[in-house]
Copies of this chain bind each other. A is one copy, B any other.
Amino acid sequence: MPADSTQLVAAEERDREILFESLTQRSKHEDFIRRAVDLLVERVVFGRASRDAKVVEWATPDEIKNIIDLKPRQTPVSHEQLLCYMADIARYSVNTAHPYFVNQLFSSVDPYGLIGQWLTDALNPSVYTFEVAPVFTLMEEEILCEMRRIIGWSDGEGDGIFCPGGSIANGYAISCARYHQYPEVKSKGVYVIPQLVIFTSELAHYSTRKLASFMGIGSDNCVDVKTDTLGKIDVTDLEKKINEAYEKGATPFMVTATSGTTVFGAFDPLVAISSLCKKYGLWLHVDAAWGGGALMSRKHKHLLNGIELADSVTWNPHKLLAAPQQCSTFLTKHKNVLSEGHSSNAKYLFQKDKFYDTSYDTGDKHIQCGRRADVLKFWFMWKAKGSAGFEKHIDKLFDNANYFRDHINQREGFRLVLEKPECTNVMFWYVPRCLRGCENEPDYNERLHKVAPKIKERMIKEGCMMVTYQPQGNLVNFFRIVFQNSALSHRDMVYFADKFERLGSDIIV
């Protein structure tokens, strides 16, 4: 029966009004989108990557709140006002695209990555089934497969997922390791299995401990292993800690090694750690969130020797490979552990009577349901540069880091924390004139500790660069420049050193 005609006429009348409104709306929207895109391209993208721009336009929280009316309101604002907001938000946001933003383990805005991200946004997908995200699903599989090949696992071996950040990837590692050894944990919980212990370096990223808490294992059951002077795991101490755990009646089940620690950029000795894992039957996870990108370079991949022995790997292309935020992967050598360990077979989403091969519906191996497509931006960069381009990028980063290290090593006022850092992190103290020659005085370290926050304040208020500092263990506050943007040149290395000198030499502590 066709729809009742009176009803349809009424509907048509109502709709004529609505259609008219949406046509008007549409041309209003078109005009706004064009103006907004213009602002985005000219002022934000092209206007901010240049060395002349400021890295940060410092304002206090209250100042920002005064400039931008951040509160949501009852009534709409005009398109003009929206464009002003865009300009202000850009102005007071840190310019992470700037060559002199070297503050975190991410930076720069890669043009191909950005276009890939914008295309993703325009397509607004959620990646759980082939039906809803056909291209993205296949693309994820291809990229994850190639990444596993680069790690050194055999073709077709293993599985992988994109996930929201390296921390959650490290959580997947715990989940897979636990499920692999004790599949009953999925339904019964940890109540029916022994008290599990994870081992990780004292300099490992905090996420392993944080996720161990979140996952019911408890941070105390994440045991710190000592590191050597380069920040690498001390394998003798690892074995000692494993035995101590057994003696206490606990059950060691995994080691999370790091390839590229957050602060020092140290690479743990994977071959030796793997031997211990084999000896004691432990899952070896490698957190290569930061250092993984070095696998793309024939010259530097030796840093991760033995990574093919791992059971699983975290690797964030948004770090060393400079993909936009976020692009994180979890990869495992074991084919079924992700899906068996996490699937719940929801019938409303993963229908098995669909007309296509539902093995392409890969969403059930995630703990997320709806999920952003973080693959396209990285895929697009890879297509635009080729693996060869990534290799050149990585080699340039290491070259810059070496150049910077050598340069400050011979300049007055700079003291390296590590003579030969392994990754592209360069750690140093800047020693102001008032402290030079005072190295043997009892309060030297206490005074030196106060230098970095003062330089940082001047640096940010001036907006000339952004470099982070931190203490570590017995080491008082030191700076850490992180090279992850291959648009930097040797000249920029000299710029950084000059700026430290200008900002810091007269500091009194």
C-alpha gap A204/B385 in the complex (Å): 45
Question: Given A44-B123, A166-B369, A367-B214, do A190 and B187 touch, yes or no (CB 8 Å)?
Answer: no
A348 CA to B372 CA, complexed, in Å: 29
Asked whether A115 lies within 8 Å of B75 as measured between CB atoms, the reply is no
Tell me whether A218 and B370 are in contact (CB under 8 A): no
B-side contacts of A125, CB under 8 Å: 93-94, 96, 325
Contact indicator B134/A453 (Cβ below 8 Å): no
Partner of A325, one of B59, B372, B382: B372
A316: chain B residues within 8 A (beta carbon) = 370
Q: Is A195 an interface residue (CB 8 A)?
A: yes
Query: Cβ of A490: which chain B residues have Cβ within 8 Å of it?
Result: 11, 14-15, 18
Chain B neighbourhood of A85, CB < 8 A = 380, 383
Using CB atoms, name the residue of chain B closest to A72: B382
Distance to closest chain B CB from A138 (angstroms) = 6
The complex is assembled from copies of this chain, and their number is 2
Interface positions, chain A 22-78, Cβ under 8 Å from B, are 22, 29-30, 32-34, 36-37, 40-41, 44-46, 59-61, 64-65, 68, 70-77
User: Cβ of A227 < 8 Å from any Cβ of B?
Assistant: no
Q: Given that A4-B410, A383-B82, A490-B15 are contacting pairs, would A218 and B139 also be in contact in the complex, using a CB cutoff of 8 Å?
A: no
29 pairs, A vs B, C-beta closer than 8 Å: A2-B498, A8-B494, A11-B493, A19-B489, A29-B111, A36-B118, A40-B115, A44-B119, A61-B360, A65-B138, A74-B388, A77-B383, A89-B135, A90-B122, A93-B135, A94-B131, A105-B370, A106-B126, A118-B118, A165-B368, A166-B370, A168-B367, A185-B213, A192-B218, A215-B215, A326-B371, A347-B470, A347-B472, A348-B480
Question: Whole-angstrom distance between the alpha carbons of A346 and B202 in the complex?
Answer: 12
Q: Which residues on B sit within 8 Å (CB–CB) of A344?
A: 206, 209-210, 219
State the Cβ distance, A212 to closest chain B Cβ, in Å. 8
Q: Give A454-491 as 1s and 0s: 1 = Cβ < 8 Å from B's Cβ atoms.
A: 00110010000010111110000100100000010111
Bound Cα distance A370, B118 (Å): 20
User: A412 at interface (Cβ–Cβ under 8 A)?
Assistant: yes
Q: Are A15 and B491 in contact (CB under 8 A)?
A: yes
Q: Which of A252-260, A304-312, A350-358 contacts B (4 or more CB under 8 A)?
A: A350-358
* Mask: chain A, 279-305; 1 = CB below 8 Å from B; 0 = not: 000000000000000000000000000
> For residue A1, which residue of chain B has the nearest CB?
B412
Bound-complex Cα distance A219 to B341 (A): 12
Is A220 on the interface with B (CB-CB < 8 A)? Answer: yes
Shortest A186–chain B CB gap in Å is: 5
**Cβ-based interface call for A442 (8 A):** no
- B41 adjacent to A369 (CB under 8 Å): no
Distance between Cα atoms of A211 and B328 in the complex (Å) = 20
Which residue in chain B gives the minimum CB-CB distance to A57? B134
Q: Which of A143-174 contact B (CB under 8 A)?
A: 143, 146, 164-168, 171
CB pair B191 A143 closer than 8 Å: no
Residues of chain B within 8 A of A106, CB atoms compared: 124, 126, 370
Indicate if the CB atoms of A112 and B367 lie closer than 8 Å. no
- Check B132–A104 contact: CB distance below 8 A: yes
B412 touches A367 (CB 8 A): no
Q: Which residue of B is nearest A70, CB measured?
A: B142
> Contact between B371 and A165 (Cβ–Cβ < 8 Å)?
yes
Mask, A384-414, CB within 8 Å of B = 1, is: 1111110000000000000100010011110
Question: Which of A139, A187, A368, A370 counts the most chain B CB atoms within 10 A?
Answer: A370
Are A3 and B411 CB-contacts (below 8 A) given A30-B46, A217-B216? yes
Q: How far is the CA of A165 from the CA of B367 in the complex (A)?
A: 10
Determine if B97 and A367 form an interchain contact, defined as CB atoms under 8 angstroms apart. Answer: no
Chain B residues, CB < 8 A from A494: 3, 8, 11
A339 in contact (CB, < 8 A): no
What residue of chain B has the Cβ atom nearest to residue A18's Cβ? B489
Q: Could you tell me the distance between the alpha carbons of A211 and B175 in the complex, rounded to whole angstroms?
A: 11
